[in-house]
Each structure stands twice: as C-alpha cells, then as structure tokens.
Homo-oligomer: A and B are copies of this chain.
Amino acid sequence: MIDYRSDNTGRAAPEILEALIRANRDTALGYGADDWTASLQRRFSDLFETAVRVFPVATGTAANALSLAAVSPSWGIIYCSEAAHINTSEANAAGFFGGGLKLAPVAGEYGRISAAALCDAVAAIAPGQIHRGQPAAINLTQASDLGTIYSLAELQAIAEIAKSRGLRAHMDGARFANAVARLGCSPAEATWRCGIDIMSFGATKNGGLLCDAIVVFKPELVDGLAVQLRRAGQVWSKMRFASAQLLAYVENGLWLQMARASNAIAAQIAAGLAELPAARLLAPVEANEIFLELPNHVMDALEADGFGFYRRSKTLARFVCRFDATEAEADALVGALRRHLSPASARAAG
C-alpha cells in the first residue's frame, strides 16, 4: 500500500528511539523531577525565545482538552472552527475536562476562523448575563484541520479581538511544525508574539512516538495545570522517557526538517493536481494534507491501485503526507489521479 491515510500511521523518527535508549541508564527521580525534563524546559524556552513551561502528555487530545480547561471556567465558551479537531474528533474531551464548558463554532474559510465572525459571536454574549455561559477562550488549529495555514497577520487580528474581550488564546498545534515550516517564521512569532497563551505542541503526527506536549506561555496557568495533569493521569512516573522524546524531536531542527519533508511532498502532489482540470481541491494545500473532491468511482479505483486514504464523505478524499513519504509515492498518486480523472475514464465509469 502507498499510505496516505494519516500522518499518525507513520514511523517515529529513529533519532527519537535512539534518545530513549540513551535515557535508559542509571536511575532518575519520577514524575518529572529528572534531568531530561529540566533540560526540556530550557530547550523549549530557547526555542520559543521566552521562559515557557513544557508538560509532556500522552496525546494531542490530552494537550487540547487540558489546555482549554486551564483557560476556561466550567461555564466558559470556547470559540473554534466548525472543523476543529476538538469539535469533531475528540469525543468532547474539552467538555469533559472543562467540567461542561461549551464549544461554539465560528465561521471562517478553509478550516480557519475569521476575525470578523469571532467578533460577532463574542458581541452576541453580554458580559455578566447568566443564561448562555461566558466567552472564555479561542482555539485555533495551526495548521488547520483542512490543511491551511493562518498567516501571522490573521493570528494577530484574531488574538487582538480575543484579548480585547478578555479571552485566552489556545493554539492546537498538532501540525505546528508544518505551519512553522510553511510560514518560515520563528516558533515565537507563530505563537506568543501573536498573542497565543498556551498551545498543544504536536509531535506524534510528525515523526513523534508516544507524546505531545503542552507549552504554557503564561506563568499564572502553570501551577493549576500541573495538578490537573497529575489527576488526569498524564504525568508519567518515568517522565524522563517522554522528555527525552521531545528533546530529540527538536534537536538540530529535526522537527522542522521532517515537517518540510511532508509539506514538500504535499506541494508536489498539489502541483501535479494543478495540471488536472478535473481535480477540485476543497482547500489550498499549505501544509501536508490534501482534501480532494473525487467521484466515488475514482476513490474505488485509487484503492484498487493500492493507495490508502480516508474517505471523509462520499465525494471527499483526504490524503496526508508523512515525513518519510517519497517523491516517487507523490508521482504515483498524481499519475493515478491523472488516469482516473481523464475524460475517457469518466466516460467508462459513467
């Protein structure tokens, strides 16, 4: 199979496994009181050019839900895109960890929320009324759940509206590496310099192994979150083996190297699609995901050819590029699509 099903079907970077082996000597204090976890704080503070607190967690869902619970009271409203992972794919983990907080979808283009729509949504809730909950925070997925990227200007505009109403800003960075690679900016510019208060820092989808992280830019959020993570079952007693993964992930720019690789494969496929008049993208290809409207028979044909991908609906296919996908695999997909989308093929199917 040529596997475009997801970036979480992929391998872990060998460097991460090697780091585990290196960390497996001597003994070390548990629950994060070890040298690796201390290093991680320094390393990420360097990376983000400010003092941050990093909490390794098992999954992106844990990172998202616990981050949101940290920035919202239980009666809070979290504004997010209709397509946001927290809204569609995490079994309402945010509502659970947040004690009944509510997600409020906000309109926008290509999986992003728009500053104007956010403005309207917040304005509709009078401060101090008790019947609808109170606006608490925004959630931005970067790269978005449709494979697009917020520009720095967009981030700033949205965060500004949030700040002006006292809302916290959370970034779901499950594919943050892909976003930074695409934007060509620094991690700091892509986050706290734009007003982000806390983020889910993804690794799993981009060559990681068994952990993601929460990165906290606002020190006042740290102490409560630390206890919440403990009782959420997200604090490993052998934490050094999680911290070692994240250290290896960012060492020597490995994370961005892998993200550039997967972005490049997606771009190569997108370039190929641009030459196929029958290929209709749902959204611009800006990271490592391609959402393509395809007739059912074409999806069948691709599967018969040995391609793996997700059918998001009867007419929408998602192709995700992993860090270790190859140019040959990209060529193969474009070639197959060219064949199956050709007028002759359509006639045969009709």
- Residue A116 CB within 8 A of the other chain: no
Find residues 124-169 in chain A having any chain B CB closer than 8 Å to their own CB.
128, 130-134
B12 contacts A233, CB within 8 Å?
Answer: no
- Residue A95 CB within 8 A of the other chain: yes
Chain B residues, Cβ within 8 Å of A132: 88-89, 91
**For chain A, what secondary structure do more than half of its interface residues adopt (helix, strand, loop), or is it mixed?**
loop
- Residue A189 CB within 8 A of the other chain: no
Chain B residues, Cβ within 8 Å of A234: 58-59, 62, 233
- Residue A5 CB within 8 A of the other chain: yes
A227 contacts B134, CB within 8 Å?
Answer: yes
A237 contacts B8, CB within 8 Å?
Answer: yes
- Residue A28 CB within 8 A of the other chain: yes
A90 contacts B231, CB within 8 Å?
Answer: yes
Find residues 200-214 in chain A having any chain B CB closer than 8 Å to their own CB.
204-205, 208-211
Give the total of A residues in contact with B, Cβ under 8 Å: 78
Chain B residues, Cβ within 8 Å of A232: 62, 93, 96, 232-233
CA distance A26 to B322 in the complex (A): 12
- Residue A110 CB within 8 A of the other chain: no
Given contacts A96-B100, A224-B73, A231-B75, contact A204 B57 (CB under 8 A): no
A102 contacts B92, CB within 8 Å?
Answer: yes
Chain B residues, Cβ within 8 Å of A308: 27
Given contacts A74-B99, A131-B90, A204-B238, contact A24 B6 (CB under 8 A): no
CA distance A207 to B308 in the complex (A): 37
CA distance A66 to B74 in the complex (A): 13
Q: In chain B, what residue has the closest Cβ to A61? A: B233
Our pick among B9, B61, B90 for the contact of A29 (Cβ within 8 Å) is B9
- Give the interface of A toward B (CB within 8 A): 1, 3, 5-6, 8-12, 14, 17, 20-21, 24-31, 57-63, 65-66, 73-75, 88-93, 95-102, 128, 130-134, 204-205, 208-211, 223-224, 226-238, 241-242, 308, 322
